Structure 1
Amino acid sequence: MEIAGVVLGAVPVILYALDNYERAWDPAKDFWNWGETIGMIRDQIFLQKQQLDTTLKILGLQNPTMEEIEAALLISHPNQVHQFMDIIRRMDNVMNEVAKDLCPDSQGPMQFADPTDRASWQWRRVRRSFGKKKRNQLFSQLHMWNTALLNCGLEKREVSSDSENRVVNLVRKQFDDDKTKTIRENVQALHEAIKRGLRCSCYHAGNFRLDWHDNKPYAERDFLLALSTDDMKQGHGGTLWNAMSMSIDVTSSPATSAVSLPSMAASTASTQSQQPKKKSVRILGFRISTRKLRHSKGSLPISPQVPALAVPSRPASPTHPIQLCDVLQNPQSGQSPLGWIPIPGSAPAKKVRIVAKNEQQGSSEADRKRVIHLHSLLTRKIDTATNQRLALHRKQRFGIAAALSWAVLHLCDSPWLGTTLDTEDINMFLENGSSSPILSTHPYLSHNFQPQTSSAPLPMAPTGSQIPPASKAAQFQSNQIRNMTLFTFAIRLIELGRNLSFEQIRQEYHASSASTLAQPQAQSAQNNPTNLIDDFEVAEYQIRELYLDPGKGYADAVDRCLRFLFPGPANMNTFQYKSFRSTFFADVVAPIQATYELIPGSCASLIV
C-alpha cells in the first residue's frame, strides 16, 4: 500500500493500520479512550499530509517524487534547493520511521486465539510508536516544517535563463565524438546484418527504440529493436512482434569447418590465439505483441491474441549461418545461441551472433501491446480497443523530442532514418493495462525491411545533397530547405512543442491570417494546404510561439534545423564530419535535452 518513491508515501500505510486498530475489540476501550486517541492521531497525520500537499501544489506538483520536487525547486529556487530538500526529506524520514514500527508486516498481523490478547498487542504497537511525548514531538516537528515551507513564498516559476543555461552546459559536457562515431558505425553494421539475415520474400517491419536521452552513460554497442513477421502458422494472418536486445561485441570468430569434439577441445587454446578478433552482434529476443499487418500509415486494428509457439531446443553452438526470418517466426523460449549472420562487405569479416532470450514466453501480457503512431497521440484519437482518448503529457512530449534529437545525431545518413521524418515513422507501444492504457516509456523509430524480391530502393543521398529542381516547390526546396531531414525534424519538434499535429497548426495559422490576408490570397492558401512553401512559412511563424513555451533554447534549436543555420561551408555541414556533429550536439541536442530534464515528472504513464 505504500506509494514507492512518493513523498510521505508511508502516510497511507499508517492510516490503514490505524483504521484496523480502531476497529479492534478491547474490553478496556472506554477506560483508555482508545477510539478517541486513535482518531486524533489519524486526523493529525492526515492534516499534516494535506498541508504539505497544498504547499507542493503551489509548485505545480501532485503526489510527486523527491526527484520531481528537486527539479521544480531547481527552477523556482535554485540557490535554496538543497535546504528545502533537506527539510522535505526529514519529514519523509519521520513518517517512514513511524510506518516501520506501526504498520503490519507483509505476512499480516499475528494470530491470537484470545481477542483480548490481539487487542493488547495492537495497542502496544500504537503506544510504542505514538506515546504521548513522542506523538507531541512528531506533530510539533511536522507542523513547524509545514508552516515554515508555506511561509517561505514557494511559487511556481518559469524556467529562468540561468537555470536553463546551467543545464545546457552540463549536457554539452557529455558529448563524446568517439562514442558518437562508434554508434553511427555500429547502426550501419547492424542494419546490414539484419538485412542479410532476412533473406526472404516476407515483409518485416522494424522499430528501433530511442533511449539515448534517458540512459546515462548511453551504450555504444547495445540496441533495442522490435521486428515483426507474418504469424501465418497460427492461422490468424496477423503480425507477430518480437522485441530484441542486440549487442555488438568483439568476439573470436567461430570455427568454420566441422571438427571432432576431442580435437576441438584439445586445440581450444591454440585456436583462440590464432583467430583474430572480429565484431559480432548478439541478439536477445522476446515476443511483444500481435496485430494485423498494415503496410499503409493509417491506424492499426488489433488482431486476436496469438498463443506462443512450442519450439524445440536448438543446438548450443550453431556453426552455420541462419535465416533471421525463421527465428522471428519461431521465438525461442529461455536463452540459447541461435547462430550467426555475416555482415556483407566488412573487412575483416564480421559476423552477427544471435542469442534468443524469450523473457515473456507465452505470456498474454505481451500479446496486448500494440503500435501507436505519434500522429494519433498528437491528434488525441480515440483508441478503439479501450474507447479512451490518447494523449501525451508534457514530460512525455519533450522526452520524445529529446529522443529524436539524439536519433538524428546517431542515425542520420543511415538506412534507419530516411530523407524525411514523418509522424508515422515515430511509434510508441501501447499496452492495455488493468485500469488504463500504459504507454511505452521510450519512442521507437520505424523502419521497413523490404522483401528481396522487390526492386531495390534508390540509394540514399547524404544530408547535404539537393534534389534537382523540377518545379517551383522543388526550386524553393533547393534554395531554402538545404536539408530535408532536419527540416522535417524541425516540424516534429514544433508539433511536440505545441502539442498539436502540423495539420492542426496549419489550420490554426490560416484561420488567424485569413482576416489580415487579401481574400484571394487567403483562399489560395486554404485550397493548397500542403504546399512546401506554405509549410515553411507556417513552421517559421511557430518559432515565436515556441519562444513563449517551452522557451528560448528549444525555439533556437528548432529554428536552426528549420532554416539550417549552422556555420561553415555547405559541403562540411554533414554528420560525416566531427565539426558538424559537435555543433549539432551543442546547438540542438543539448538545449532540447535540457528542456526535457528541467520538466518535473516521468514518462511512465499515459494521460487519457
Structure 2
Amino acid sequence: MSGVEVAGLVLGAFPIILNCLDYYRKSCEPLSEWWRFRTRFIEFADGIRHQEMMYNSNMMEMLHPIIQDNDCLADLVKNPNDARWSDGSLTTHLERHLAGEHERVLRIIQKMHDLVEELKKLLQIKDNKVDWIDSQSERSWAWHLTRIRISFSKGKYKKVNKLDSHNRTLKQTLGCSRRINLIEESRQTSPPVELFEKVRQHVGNLHNALRLAFRKCSLGRCRGHCSNLGLRGDPEVVEVNVLFVVDDARQEVAICPVKEHATTTAEIRRSSGKLPPTLPAQSISDGGIDVIEDLCSYLRRGRQLNFEPGVISDEDDRRFRLTSHNPHSTAAQTSSELVALSQLLEAHRWNHIRLPRNLRLEMAFHIASTLLQVQMSPWAPQKWSKQDFLFQTDSEGSFGVCPYLPQTYPSIRVDTIESDPPVTASEEDTRAALFAVGIITLELIFGHTIESCEFRGRYYGPDNKPNDHTDVCTARTWAKRVLSECGAQLDDVVRRCLDCAFEPRPNLLDKRFREAVYAGVVQPLAESLKPWKAVTPRA
C-alpha cells in the first residue's frame, strides 16, 4: 500500500470514529448515570474532531501546489475513496513539491494511520460499526462493563495526544517544504533560459508592432507582407532577425527593443502626438533614426537605397529598432529562397544536397531552442512540425542552419486594431510540441523524414493508412536505434522529448520546467556539437 493511499485511509478513519462515537452517545444518553460520563466523553469527541480538522488542513496544504482548483482540492480531501488516493497519480508530484521530505511526511502519515487503527480497536469498532451497542435486548453486565471501561479509559486520550503531536509535526514539515519551494522558485534562472524568456517576450511584442506597421501600408495593393522570424539557439542579446519578402525580393533586418533612456526626440514627439504637420507621415528622422509609419514603403525604399535604421512601435508605445542585417553566408543573398525542413531532408535523402550530421545536429539544436523562445507567442506554430521551420538555401547548395518561422500580415488600413487574444500553452499542447521536437531530432539524426521509415507501415490502421497512432509508434521504435547510433546523450534527449520526461509538470509558465527543458534538451544538443568543432556557415 502506497503512502498516498494511507493518507486517504486516515481521512476516512476520522468520520468513522466520530460516527461511532455519536452512535455510542445516543445509545447511552437515556441511562440515568450518563451524566457521570458526559463531560469526559464530549471532551474526547471534541479532541477527535479537532485532530480531523488539523489533518484535513494539512492534506490541503500538502496538495495545494499540485491541485490548483480549490473546489477540486476540497472534493479530494472530503472523499477518501477518490481514485487519486490509490492510483499513484499524486505520488510523483508530491515527491517534487515536498522538497526532499517526501518519505518523512509519509512516515508521519503512516504513524497516524496506525494510531487511528488502534483507536478503532480500543473503541471496539469492527467493520466500521460498534456491534456491542447494536443489541436492543436488555443490557447485560458485560455491556455496562464495556461502556464504563471505554468511558473511563485513559488510553484513548493518550492516542489523541499522539495524533496531535503527529499533526503538529506534519504541519511544521509541510510549512518548511513550502518555504523551501518558494525559495527555489524565487531563485534566479540560468542566464540562457532568462535570455530565452526575454526573447520570447520581445517577439510577442514585436508581432503586434509589425501588424500595426503593415496595416498602415499606403500602397493598398499588397496581398500580404511575409515576415520570417529568424532565431538562434545561442543568442547573445535580445535581438532577432526578420526576413521580409517584398515584391519577391528579400530584406533581412535585425530588430531589438529600444530602451527608454535611448528614446529620441522625434519618438517622444510622435508618441505624444505633437509632431509638426509639415513632417512626412511615413517617416520622421531625428538624429539619424527614422520613426516608421508605413513599414512596407520603408522596406521598399531600403532595398533600393542604403538601408537606414528605423523605429516602429506597437499600440502600447513599445518601440523597436530596425537595422540592416549583415549576412554571414551566401545563403542570405537575394538569390536565396526559404525551404521547409521536410524538403531539405528529402533532398538529402536522394543525394541532391549533402547535409553532414554535425550540421543536422546544429539545426536540431536551433530548432529545440525555439520552443523556449516563441512558445505562447503569436509566432508559435499551431501544430509543431518540420513544415513550420524554413531554412535559407541558394542555387549553389549552400544553406543556413538557423530556422525561420513564417508570419503573414495583411494590408488593411485602419486607425485602431484589436489586440491578439492571449496565447497560452496547455499541458497537452506542450507535450505535443516537445513530441514534435523529438521527431524532428530523430529525422535530423538519421537524415530522413519519419514518413520514409521502412517500418512505418507496421503501424497503419486497418485501412492500411496512417492514423493518429502511426507516428507515435514509429517514433518510439525509431528512438531505440539512437543509443547505438549516437550514444547515451542524444538517446536521452530524444526520450525526454517523446515522453515529456521532465520533473516539473509540463507548463511553460513555470520557469522550473523551462530550466528542465533547457538542461535536458537544448544544452545536450549544444554539447553534442563539440566533438566536431566545425566552423558552420551562419544564416
In the aligned structure 1, how far is the partner of 2:212 from the partner of 2:508? Answer: 25
Q: Distance in 2 between matches of 1:219 and 1:497?
A: 27
Seen in structure 2, the aligned counterparts of structure 1 residues 451 and 488 have a Cα distance that, compared at 3 Å, is: farther
Q: 2:198 aligns with which of 182, 187, 197?
A: 182
- Counterpart selection for 1:599 from 518, 532, 537: 532
Is the 2:427–2:507 contact (alpha carbons within 8 Å) kept by the matching residues of 1?
Answer: no
Query: Alpha-carbon deviation of 1:597?
Result: 2.4
Task: State the 1:600 CA deviation.
Answer: 4.3
Q: Is the contact between residue 418 and residue 460 of structure 1 (CA under 8 Å) also seen in structure 2? A: no
In structure 2, what is the Cα distance between the partners aligned to 1:176 and 1:584? 12
> For the residues of structure 1 that align with 2:240 and 2:331, how far apart are their CA atoms?
25
Distance in 1 between residues matched to 2:357 and 2:494, nearest whole Å = 17
Identify which of 341, 353, 370 aligns with 2:337. Answer: 370
Report the more deviating stretch, 315-324 or 409-418.
315-324
Aligned pairs, number: 329
Q: Of residues 392, 397, 413 in structure 1, which corresponds to 2:355? A: 392
| Secondary structure, counterpart of 1:227 in structure 2 | strand
Partner of 1:225: 242
1:417 equivalent to 2:380? Answer yes
Amino acid at match of 1:497: I
Q: How does 1:34-433 map to 2 (within 5 A)?
A: 175-199=191-215, 200=217, 202-213=223-234, 218-229=235-246, 231=247, 239-250=248-259, 251-252=262-263, 254-256=267-269, 257-258=274-275, 321-332=292-303, 333-338=305-310, 340-344=311-315, 346=316, 349-355=317-323, 357=324, 366-380=333-347, 389-432=352-395
Give SS of 1:380's match: helix
1:555 aligns with 2:491: yes
> CA distance change for structure 1 residues 364 and 401 in 2, over 3 Å: closer, same or farther?
closer
Return the offset for 1:539: 0.8
Aligned to 1:502: 450
1:578 pairs, out of 506, 511, 516, with 511
Query: Do the aligned partners of 2:290 and 2:309 also contact (CA within 8 Å) in 1?
Result: no
Indicate if the aligned counterparts of 1:463 and 1:483 stay in contact, CA closer than 8 A: no
Q: Relative to 1, partners in 2 of residues 1:330 and 1:259: Cα closer, same or farther, differing over 3 Å? A: closer
* CA offsets 1:160-210 (integer angstroms, 9 cap, x no match): xxxxxxxxxxxxx97544323322211212222112211146322222223
Q: Distance in 2 between matches of 1:359 and 1:179?
A: 22
Q: Are residues 525 and 409 of structure 1, via their aligned partners in 2, closer, same or farther at CA, if it must alter by over 3 Å? A: farther
**1:449 aligns to what?**
409
Which residue identity is paired with 1:351? Answer: R
- The letter of the residue matching 1:212 is G
The letter of the residue matching 2:320 is V
Tell me, in whole angstroms, the C-alpha distance in 2 between the residues paired with 1:174 and 1:366: 36
Compared with structure 1, are the counterparts of its residues 202 and 329 closer, same or farther at alpha carbon in structure 2 (3 Å cutoff)?
farther
2:482 matches 1:537: no
Query: Is the 2:437–2:497 contact (alpha carbons within 8 Å) kept by the matching residues of 1?
Result: yes
Residue number in structure 1 paired with 2:521: 588
Equivalent-residue separation in structure 1 for 2:496 and 2:486 (angstroms): 16
Shift of 1:321: 4.6
Q: Is the Cα–Cα contact under 8 Å of residues 221 and 249 in structure 1 kept in the other structure? A: no
Tell me if the contact between 1:376 and 1:390 (Cα under 8 Å) persists in the aligned partners: no
Structure 1 residue 532: Cα displacement: 1.7
Q: What's the secondary structure of 1:220's corresponding residue? A: coil
TM-score normalised per structure 1: 0.48
Q: Distance in 2 between matches of 1:424 and 1:188?
A: 21
Greater strand share, 1 or 2?
Answer: 1
Measure, in 2, the Cα distance between the counterparts of 1:183 and 1:174: 14
1:490-509 CA deviation, whole Å, 9 max, x = no partner? 1111111111112102xx11
| CA 1:485–1:359: 2 relative to 1, 3 Å | closer
In 2, are the aligned partners of 1:557 and 1:587 still within 8 Å (CA)? yes
Contact 1:490–1:562 (8 Å) recurs in 2: yes
Tell me which amino acid in the other structure corresponds to 2:367: L
Letter in 2 for 1:448: T
- Which amino acid is 1:483 matched to? R
Please say if residues 340 and 391 of structure 2, whose CA atoms lie closer than 8 Å, have aligned partners that are also in contact: yes
| TM-score when normalising by structure 2 | 0.54
**What CA distance in whole angstroms lies between the structure 2 residues aligned with 1:248 and 1:366?**
26
The percent of aligned pairs where both chains have the same amino acid is 18
Distance in 1 between residues matched to 2:367 and 2:520, nearest whole Å? 14
| Partner SS state of residue 437, structure 2 | helix
Contact persistence 1:334–1:359 (CA under 8 A):
no
For the structure 1 residues 178 and 523, does the alpha-carbon distance in structure 2 shift closer, same or farther, using more than 3 Å as the test?
Answer: closer
| Letter of the 1:584 counterpart | V
Indicate the SS of the match to 1:334.
coil
Structure 2 match to 1:546? 482
**8 Å contact from structure 2 (residues 228, 244) kept in 1:** yes
Paired residue for 2:425? 463
Task: Rate the CA distance shift 1:523–1:370 in 2: closer, same or farther, 3 A.
Answer: closer
SS in 2 for 1:255: helix
2-side partners of 1:376 and 1:546: how far apart?
23
Alpha-carbon separation, structure 2, partners of 1:397 and 1:321: 38
1:587 & 1:227 partners in 2: Cα distance? 34
C-alpha distance in 2, partners of 1:358/1:184?
Answer: 20
Shift of 1:244: 0.6
Q: CA deviation at 1:443?
A: 3.0
Two-structure CA RMSD over aligned residues (Å): 3.8
* Contact 1:554/1:595 (<8 A) preserved: yes
Contact 1:316 1:337 in 2 (8 A): no
Q: Is the 8 A contact 1:192 1:343 kept in 2?
A: yes
The 3 A distance-change label for structure 1 pair 583 and 465 is closer
Q: What displacement does 1:421 show?
A: 2.1
Runs of at least 5 residues in structure 2 that lack an aligned partner in the other structure: 1-188
Name the aligned partner's letter for residue 485 of structure 1: A
Give the 3 Å change call, closer, same or farther, for CA 368–576 of structure 1 in structure 2: same
1:224 deviates by: 1.4
> How far does the alpha carbon of each residue in 1:197-229 deviate from its partner, in whole angstroms, 9 at most, with x for none?
11146322222223233xxxx323221120112
Report the structure, 1 or 2, having the larger helix content.
2
1:85-135 deviation line (CA, Å, top 9, x unaligned)? xxxxxxxxxxxxxxxxxxxxxxxxxxxxxxxxxxxxxxxxxxxxxxxxxxx
What displacement does 1:453 show? 8.8
The SS at the match of 2:371 is helix
Shift, 1:452, TM fit = 4.7
